[in-house]
Amino acid sequence: RKEVEQDPGPFNVPEGATVAFNCTYSNSASQSFFWYRQDCRKEPKLLMSVYSSGNEDGRFTAQLNRASQYISLLIRDSKLSDSATYLCVVNLGGSYQLTFGKGTKLSVIP
C-alpha cells in the first residue's frame, strides 16, 4: 500500500463548481498534513496546512480525520486559475521528510 494515496483524477469541472479531493495515508504516526498546488512544469507551492479541527482559507476548506487516516480538500466556486495538480503531503513525527501523493489534476473549464 502506498504511503499517501489520492483520487486518480483528472477532474474536469465547469467554472463555479464545487470539487472535492480525497487522500488517505498509511502511517498512523503521521503528524503534519498539507495540500500543495503544482502548476504544469512548475514547482509545488504550499496551498494550506491541514489541522485536526479543519480549516478554511477563502474558497478552500481542508479536513483531517485521524481515525480514518483521511484528508480532504474542498474547492468552492472554482476559477479557471484553480486548474493545477493538487498534491496531498504528509510528514511523520520526528522525520524531516515530506511524503507526497501522486497528485490529482484539476481542469476548470469555461
Q: Does 78 bind other proteins (CB under 8 A)?
A: no
Inter-residue contact 61 to 50 (CB < 8 Å): no
What nine digits make up the cell of 96?
Answer: 524531516
User: Which of 55, 95 has the CB closer to other proteins?
Assistant: 95
Cβ-proximal residues to 107 (8 Å cutoff; 6+ apart), any chain: 10, 11, 12, 13, 83
Q: Residue 17 or 92: which CB sits closer to other proteins?
A: 92
Q: Does 47 bind other proteins (CB under 8 A)?
A: no
CB of 29 to other proteins, least distance (A): 15
Binding status of residue 42 toward other proteins by CB under 8 A: yes
Q: Could you say whether residue 40 binds other proteins (CB under 8 A)? A: no
We find the least distance from the C-beta atom of residue 38 to other proteins, in angstroms, to be: 9
| R_g of the chain, CA atoms, integer Å | 13
Phi, psi of 81, deg, nearest 5: -70, -10
